[in-house]
């Protein structure tokens, strides 16, 4: 489950998710540790039992205790006791938020029943990426009514899936679910793989986090999870202040998460003072869900409720806020100094962890959006608008939008913008290649049959601008209203018509990383390319909120003209 406070910008836009943010980072930031030591005194510790220079250790004065952390704090020291305390707390809160997908683990379920649980957990996990629990619950319930099994989902069209997803945002998640269900049906007979390795490798849109969550919860596999909540929780427990997306930081956190779910028959007896209910069954899925829940509701980004945290006794970040710990760690052995952590120049207490990531500035892009209307001269009330369908993978996958020229120059002139509709229509409709904007006054004989049959752009009116912010792009839509007249019917769309060549090409990414394009099987039942939509049905189409803004702004313009 994703951190409920991560959403950046619009509720739809990028493929940004907890997996893509933390899981696949393959870069490492250069540590500033070496430079942070400059100007701080080191002193040698007397060590009468070891006199050889190679084995002598050098402690560091805590004149700057916030600049260096002990490497030994970055490992889970007592996982058995931590698990017991965590699960005892989870037992009291796991039903609080009324999540329909959250049920106790039953080790007696058969293969089919476990596979069905895996499907239910999969749907909930994908929906919860970047979306709050309260928002997801009604969507989840409607989804399970419409697509109760993997087979039902695999038989759906992208339009049916997007219609059910409408309003939830980040639409690429929906297309990945469809592609994943189709792959599960084709390769695994309608079941998701029962282990995280195969699931991550072979099911589109499932990365390490989702595979771990699904397989631990549904199949009882001892595999870890690391979403935003667990990342923050473990960063504080381990007092880890390293670049949050670097490989070194993620390796430490994944190792800590793995330690927490590695249950063995002896683990319940290792604590010196085991709690009275320590012999209760422990399941990896419960441990993972408990850590997610703790990070989401207690170990929050701001104002963490440390006083009610069941893991407070093992939290290195919390201990560092106590005077006793400051004295105990006033001298740090130089051999135990962590070279992964970046310096803490000023302490904000527990909320100093994890290290704040440098936020990437959203790139600026400008699109010219053409709200193209065809109207009948014989029946003026017959107004239809041209919608085109986006590619099946990537941003706003499979949704409808008004034809646009993307990422144009901000300085494009009005005259240049007015040339775009004819070029676009030449790619989308029959007869579009001969279209130009009418520059002549209509003849007096308006009933001339030949004149009525000529398809003409009679109006191009600037509407205004719409700013729509995605997580990684700030889009400025320059909207113009284009009116076509002529003919008894709107010009038929060209078969297979598309504006895909108008879109900038991106380097394909790994399919199983939870990002990038996915392959949804083509379905002849769904409309392709461009479609003319009656005015009263435009808002019923599967479109993103940015397109709705464009439509509403255009409607305001012609409603003003009609007054």
Q: How far apart are CA 243 and CA 250, in angstroms?
A: 9
Q: How far apart are CA 424 and CA 372, in angstroms?
A: 10
Q: Are 343 and 32 in contact (CB under 8 A)?
A: yes
Other CB atoms closer than 10 Å to residue 306's CB: what's the count?
Answer: 17
Interacting residues of 331 by C-beta distance below 8 A, sequence separation 6+: 45, 59, 60, 61, 62
Q: How far apart are CA 41 and CA 339, in angstroms?
A: 17
Residue indicated by tokens 């190792």: 255
Question: Tokens representing 268?
Answer: 């319940």
Q: How far apart are CA 513 and CA 511, in angstroms?
A: 6
Q: How far apart are CA 180 and CA 8, in angstroms?
A: 26
Q: How far apart are CA 116 and CA 218, in angstroms?
A: 8
- What's the distance, CA 104 to chain centroid? 27
Q: How far apart are CA 169 and CA 129, in angstroms?
A: 10
Active-site positions read 125
Question: Tokens representing 113?
Answer: 């029943």
Rounded to a whole number of angstroms, the CA Rg of the chain reads 29
Helix 284-297, helix 247-261: angle, nearest 10? 120
Distance between first and last Cα of the chain: 50
Residues paired with residue 405 on neighbouring β-strands, in sequence order = 368
Q: Are 398 and 528 in contact (CB under 8 A)?
A: no
Helix 158-165, helix 133-146: angle, nearest 10? 140
Q: How far apart are CA 66 and CA 520, in angstroms?
A: 51
């Amino acid at each position: 489950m994703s951190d409920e406070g991560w959403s950046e910008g619009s509720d739809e836009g990028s493929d940004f998710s907890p997996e893509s943010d933390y899981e696949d980072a393959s870069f490492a930031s250069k540590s500033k540790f070496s430079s942070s030591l400059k100007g701080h005194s080191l002193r040698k510790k007397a060590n009468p039992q070891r006199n050889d220079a190679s084995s002598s250790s050098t402690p560091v004065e805590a004149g700057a205790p916030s600049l260096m952390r002990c490497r030994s704090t970055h490992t889970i020291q007592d996982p058995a006791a931590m698990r017991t305390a965590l699960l005892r707390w989870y037992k009291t809160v796991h039903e609080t938020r009324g999540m329909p997908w959250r049920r106790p683990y039953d080790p007696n379920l058969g293969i089919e029943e476990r596979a069905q649980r895996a499907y239910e957990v999969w749907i909930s996990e994908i929906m919860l990426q970047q979306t709050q629990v309260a928002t997801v619950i009604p969507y989840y319930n409607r989804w399970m009514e419409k697509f109760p099994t993997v087979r039902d989902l695999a038989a759906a069209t992208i339009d049916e899936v997007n219609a059910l997803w409408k309003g939830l945002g980040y639409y690429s998640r929906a297309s990945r679910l469809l592609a994943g269900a189709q792959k599960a049906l084709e390769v695994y007979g309608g079941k998701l793989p029962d282990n995280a390795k195969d699931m991550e490798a072979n099911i589109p849109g499932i990365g390490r986090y989702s595979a771990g969550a699904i397989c631990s919860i549904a199949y009882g596999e001892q595999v870890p999870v690391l979403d935003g909540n667990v990342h923050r929780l473990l960063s504080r427990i381990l007092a880890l202040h390293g670049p949050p997306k670097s490989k070194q930081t993620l390796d430490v956190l994944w190792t800590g998460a793995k330690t927490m779910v590695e249950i063995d028959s002896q683990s319940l007896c290792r604590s010196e003072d085991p709690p009275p209910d320590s012999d209760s069954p422990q399941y990896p899925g419960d441990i993972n869900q408990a850590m997610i829940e703790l990070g989401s509701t207690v170990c929050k980004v701001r104002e963490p409720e440390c006083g009610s945290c069941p893991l407070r006794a093992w939290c290195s970040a919390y201990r560092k806020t106590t005077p006793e710990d400051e004295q105990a760690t006033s001298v740090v052995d130089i051999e135990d100094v962590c070279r992964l952590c970046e310096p803490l120049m000023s302490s904000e207490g527990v909320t100093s962890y994890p290290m704040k990531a440098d936020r990437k500035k959203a790139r600026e892009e400008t699109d010219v959006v053409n709200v193209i209307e065809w109207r009948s001269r014989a029946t003026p009330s017959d107004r239809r608008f041209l919608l085109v369908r986006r590619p099946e993978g990537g941003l706003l996958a499979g949704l409808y939008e008004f034809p646009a020229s993307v990422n144009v120059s901000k300085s494009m002139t009005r005259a240049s913008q007015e040339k775009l509709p004819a070029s676009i229509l030449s790619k989308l409709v029959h007869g579009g290649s001969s279209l130009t904007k009418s520059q002549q006054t209509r003849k007096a004989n308006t009933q001339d049959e030949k004149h009525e049959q000529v398809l003409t752009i009679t109006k191009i009116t600037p509407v205004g601008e719409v700013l729509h912010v995605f997580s990684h792009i700030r889009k400025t839509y320059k909207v113009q209203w284009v009116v076509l007249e002529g003919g008894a019917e709107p010009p038929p769309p060209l078969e297979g018509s598309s504006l895909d060549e108008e879109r900038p090409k991106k380097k394909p990414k790994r399919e199983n990383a939870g990002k990038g394009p996915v392959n949804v099987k083509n379905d002849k039942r769904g409309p392709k390319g461009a479609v003319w939509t009656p005015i009263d049905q435009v808002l019923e189409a599967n479109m993103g909120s940015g397109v709705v803004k464009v439509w509403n702004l255009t409607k305001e313009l012609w409603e003003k003209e009609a007054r």
